[in-house]
Amino acid sequence: MPAAKPATTLVLLVRHGVTPTTGRLLPGRRRGLHLSDEGRRQAETLAARLAVVPKIAAIYSSPLERALETVAPLAKARGIAVRTERGLLEGDVGAWVGLSLRRAARRPEWSIVQRHASAFRFPEGDSAHRHRAGVDHGDRVSRGGAERAHDECDGWRSRITREAMTSFDFDVPDHFTVGTVGPQGERVFYIQGRQRGRLATLKSEKEQVRALATYLAQLLDKLPTASEATPQSLDLLEPVEAAWPVASLGLGWDEERQRIVVVAESVVEEEGDEPATARFAITRAQATAFVERAETLVKAGRAICPMCSQPKDPGGHVCPRSNGHVVR
């Protein structure tokens, strides 16, 4: 007899229905926000459209009212109790809760949020990486309790679970730079600092480097000039071995020490875990040199498609926004 095919679990991801603020404000994790009349009609439509699915084993929802109300008609029609799961919560936009989308779009950070969310942490909120790390990858959708839906972890995330990550605190680094390794189209970006012979090398994304350079330039414009030694070399130092990949970057100004403080945080795998951190207290001259080098490296990369904001391949770009029909 031929071997039986393994059973497949079908997972349906459903966005909550519209609310009175949809398309106007950033709700984040705001409580007390209910579906609008149109949202309730969408919830009823969801239950009707899924009537063709023979069996639904479980329904999971975030604890937010708008999500629970979206699946309520479906749960009632199927006679299934909704299981709430905090890991399905919206991203935490922190101080941006209630901000209008029109005002958000005028902020320089908005392009980073849209193109590469992991490069940005919302003020008093979260980054995409930390939000993803808050999801429990245990039993989610089961068929007879025998199957589990889980995320696949890439090599870096697997390595993170096996090894304790090192933190760095460089209050007077003698070297701070950014560089790349690899040919165009396959470049890997690294942020690197050194103090008293100790080297910290962090794997980063191009958009993270772009964002850091943008914020450093904005901060430098607000600070008075100072007579500081210009860095002599901005090359990456060997060995170029990343301690961990960067999940988020922060920036501050130490008035007492007259230094700019750059803080990087690593990805965390389990909710409640503390990320590894790297803190670099750099001079204005080091920051200026970093900005100039970062801008040069970013411009040297592949051109960006104006439709999907993804880099164009040298052999032709199939834009996903055009459903693969247009090569640009």
- How does pLDDT run along the chain (328 residues), one tens digit per residue? 566 666 678 889 998 999 998 888 888 888 888 999 999 999 999 999 999 988 899 999 999 999 999 999 999 999 999 999 888 888 777 888 888 888 877 776 666 666 555 556 677 666 554 544 444 433 333 333 333 333 333 444 444 443 457 899 999 999 999 999 998 778 999 999 999 999 999 999 998 999 999 999 999 999 998 889 999 899 999 999 999 999 889 888 998 999 999 999 987 766 667 889 999 999 999 999 999 999 999 988 666 666 665 666 666 667 766 554 444 4
pLDDT of residue 270: 67
pTM of the model: 0.51
Q: Give alpha helix (H) positions in the chain.
A: 37-49, 65-78, 101-105, 110-115, 128-133, 155-162, 206-222, 284-299
Edge-first strand order for the sheet with 244-254 is 168-170, 277-282, 259-266, 244-254, 198-204, 188-195, 175-181
CATH of the domain at 102: 3.40.50.1240
Residue 294 is encoded by which pair of tokens? 């970062």
Any domain includes 23: yes
Whether residues 175 and 288 fall in one domain: yes
Residue 216 falls inside a structural domain: yes
Q: What pLDDT was estimated at residue 138? A: 39
**Do 209 and 142 fall into the same domain?**
no
| Together in a domain, 144 and 169 | no
Domain-embedded: residue 80: yes
In a domain? residue 324: no
The reported pLDDT for the residue numbered 99 is 83
Flag whether 123 is in a domain. yes
Tell me, yes or no, whether 250 lies in a domain. yes
User: How many independent structural domains does the chain possess?
Assistant: 2
Domain-located, residue 212: yes
288 and 159 within one domain? yes
Q: Are residues 228 and 261 in the same domain?
A: yes
Residues 126 and 197 in one domain: no
In the chain, beta strands by DSSP E: 59-61, 82-84, 168-170, 175-181, 188-195, 198-204, 244-254, 259-266, 277-282
Under a CB-based contact definition with an 8 Å cutoff, are residues 201 and 266 in contact?
Answer: no
What is the spatial distance between Cα 208 and Cα 202, in angstroms, rounded to a whole number? 12
Query: Looking at the structure, do residues 175 and 204 belong to the same domain, yes or no?
Result: yes
Q: Give the tokens for residue 6.
A: 């393994």
Q: Tell whether 50 and 96 lie within a shared domain.
A: yes
Q: Are 189 and 206 in contact (CB under 8 A)?
A: yes
Examine the domain organization and report whether 68 and 124 are in the same domain. Answer: yes
- Are 144 and 38 members of one domain? yes
- pLDDT for 317 equals 65
| Per-residue model confidence (pLDDT) at position 117 | 58
User: Which residues, at least 6 apart from 237, have a Cβ–Cβ distance to it below 8 Å?
Assistant: 175, 192, 194, 199
The boundaries of the domain holding residue 130 are 8-149
| DSSP bridge pairs for 249 | 264
